[in-house]
Amino acid sequence: MKNKLIAQFQAVFGRSPEFVTRAPGRIEFIGNHTDYNGGTVLGAAVDRNIWVAIARRDDGQRRFFSAQGGEIITMPSGIPEKQEGLSKWTNYALGVIAAFPHFGLKVPEGFDYYDMSDLPAGAGMSSSAAIELASVLAFLEITGQADKVDRETVVKIGKHAENHFVGMPCGILDQGVSGFGKKDHLVFIDCRGPVFATVPIPAGAHFWIFNTHKKHALVDGFYAARNRECMEAAKALGVPLLADANATLLDKAEAEGRLKGDALKRARHVIEEIARVGETQKALAKGDLAAAGRLLTASHRSSQYLFENSVEELDTLVDALVATPHVYGSRLTGGGFGGAVMAMTDAAFGGEQAAQVVAAYEKKYGAKPDVIHCQTGDGAAVM
Ligand code: GLA
């Protein structure tokens, strides 16, 4: 990939890149919508990445090109403005530039920037966090500031770009996993600190992604709405964040009529989901994949009925997967309102079983989901 990227950079810009960086996509293993509520979450970096090649320019021009297609996009130096239309994909890199001063860093001025990906976009594996982190590392290199920041700051710069420039009120899961990923490990994040740790994946666990390509037209609006509902529920419970509450507090608020309807359901999901993350850690530590799998499926049911961020297509896939031999558990992965489900299986789950699941889906919807047997990989790096 690196050699191909360098060759293509040379073909487009007529010179060699100075630095090459890459950052992986992620699987959300368990902990759905817990991150911005100050909770805990487990995810895995995959061995598919967004790659960035970069070289400085003296004339202050910023030139962007994506291997995904299009033309060279040229922009002036300074603090960037949000783009619409064909240059919209540059918002992730521009958001990183705009974030630099907030972390006491000088912004990169002129450069040639080439982006390439072997991470399928829209597959629920967070290509946006990957492009943000690959960009952070590239811009730190060309400005000679790589020694000034630690890994946690790299992650926070990516999240800042997403929250304040792209405009998505996400938590730290995607950037955290892309930054701290480790092959054959899950990344555990206590999002309040944040505190990052890695947890070995027991031998024999396999991860599969089934991507529906369905995306609710209002997905960003729904995500923001859930975020708001959670903050309101926390307020009604008298705590700063839902992670500060617990089941007893919730039951009391319900009995006293202080929390009801959707707010109650959202809060119950988050509080129980945080507990499930803890249970999953215990199951993994014992190598009990069956127990971990049951928790994954319970997480999906909670998203389906309490957080209501699933869609029928995802439920259909989860139902088909959990009825298939060799599947430990299955759940939607990521924000929801469309997207993908993940399944944890044993080694005997293969193409034949996946095809059965695809067939059940196709019969109902007349379209096939994409299937990816995911391998885990290492976090973002300069190559
Ligand atoms: C998206 C967000 C994450 C997280 C998940 C849901 O992937 O970017 O921050 O909230 O949804 O768990």
Which one of 182, 200, 218 terminates a domain?
200
Query: Is the pLDDT confidence value at 107 over 80?
Result: yes
What pLDDT, on a 0 to 100 scale, did the predictor assign at position 217? 63
> With the C-alpha atoms ordered 356, 357, 358, 361, is the resulting torsion angle positive or negative?
positive
Which domain does 284 fall in, by range?
206-374
- The string of pLDDT tens digits covering residues 185-224 is 999 999 999 999 999 999 999 999 999 988 776 677 899 9
Which one of 151, 182, 200 terminates a domain?
200
Query: Is the pLDDT confidence value at 162 over 90?
Result: yes
Are both 185 and 307 inside the same structural domain? Answer: no
Which residue type does 92 have? Y
How much is the average pLDDT of 309-325? 97
CA distance 336 to 120: 17
Average pLDDT, the chain: 96
Which residue type does 286 have? K
Ligand 1 pocket test target in 26, 27, 28 with most atoms within 8 Å of CB = 28
Which one of 169, 200, 231 terminates a domain?
200
| Phi, psi for residue 45 in degrees, rounded to 5 | -75, 140
Ligand 1 pocket test target in 174, 223, 231, 300 with most atoms within 8 Å of CB = 174
What's the domain count of the chain?
2
Which SS3 state, helix, strand or coil, does residue 135 take?
helix
Task: Give the DSSP H or E segment for 293.
Answer: helix 289-302
Ligand 1 pocket test target in 27, 30, 32, 33 with most atoms within 8 Å of CB = 33
The pTM for the full model equals 0.96
> Domain containing 255 — which CATH number?
3.30.70.890
Catalytic residue among 174, 190, 244, 288: 174
- The string of pLDDT tens digits covering residues 352-373 is 999 999 999 999 999 999 999 9
What pLDDT, on a 0 to 100 scale, did the predictor assign at position 123? 77
Is residue 379 one of the residues assigned to a domain? Answer: no
Are residues 61 and 80 in contact, defined by beta-carbon separation less than 8 angstroms? no
Is residue 382 one of the residues assigned to a domain? Answer: no
Is residue 276 one of the residues assigned to a domain? Answer: yes
Is residue 165 one of the residues assigned to a domain? Answer: yes
Are residues 65 and 13 in contact, defined by beta-carbon separation less than 8 angstroms? yes
Are both 52 and 126 inside the same structural domain? Answer: yes
Distance (angstroms) between ligand 1 centre and the Cα of 201 equals 21
Cβ of 335 below 6 Å from ligand 1: yes
What pLDDT, on a 0 to 100 scale, did the predictor assign at position 207? 98
CA distance 129 to 133: 6
Are both 189 and 224 inside the same structural domain? Answer: no
User: What percentage of the chain has pLDDT greater than the value 90?
Assistant: 95
Are both 147 and 108 inside the same structural domain? Answer: yes
Are both 218 and 195 inside the same structural domain? Answer: no
What pLDDT, on a 0 to 100 scale, did the predictor assign at position 221? 86
Distance (angstroms) between ligand 1 centre and the Cα of 2 equals 29
Preceding peptide of 240 cis, ω within 30°: no
Told to judge if 174 belongs to the known catalytic residues of this protein, a careful annotator would answer yes
Are both 187 and 213 inside the same structural domain? Answer: no
Are residues 292 and 329 in contact, defined by beta-carbon separation less than 8 angstroms? yes
Tokens linked to 275: 């507990």
- The string of pLDDT tens digits covering residues 265-316 is 999 999 999 999 999 999 999 999 999 999 999 999 999 999 999 999 999 9
Are both 258 and 171 inside the same structural domain? Answer: no
Cβ of 334 below 6 Å from ligand 1: yes
Cβ of 174 below 6 Å from ligand 1: yes
Is residue 361 one of the residues assigned to a domain? Answer: yes
Are both 213 and 240 inside the same structural domain? Answer: yes
> Domain containing 156 — which CATH number?
3.30.230.10
Query: Is the pLDDT confidence value at 124 over 70?
Result: yes
Are both 164 and 263 inside the same structural domain? Answer: no
Tokens linked to 382: 């300069």
Cβ of 170 below 6 Å from ligand 1: yes
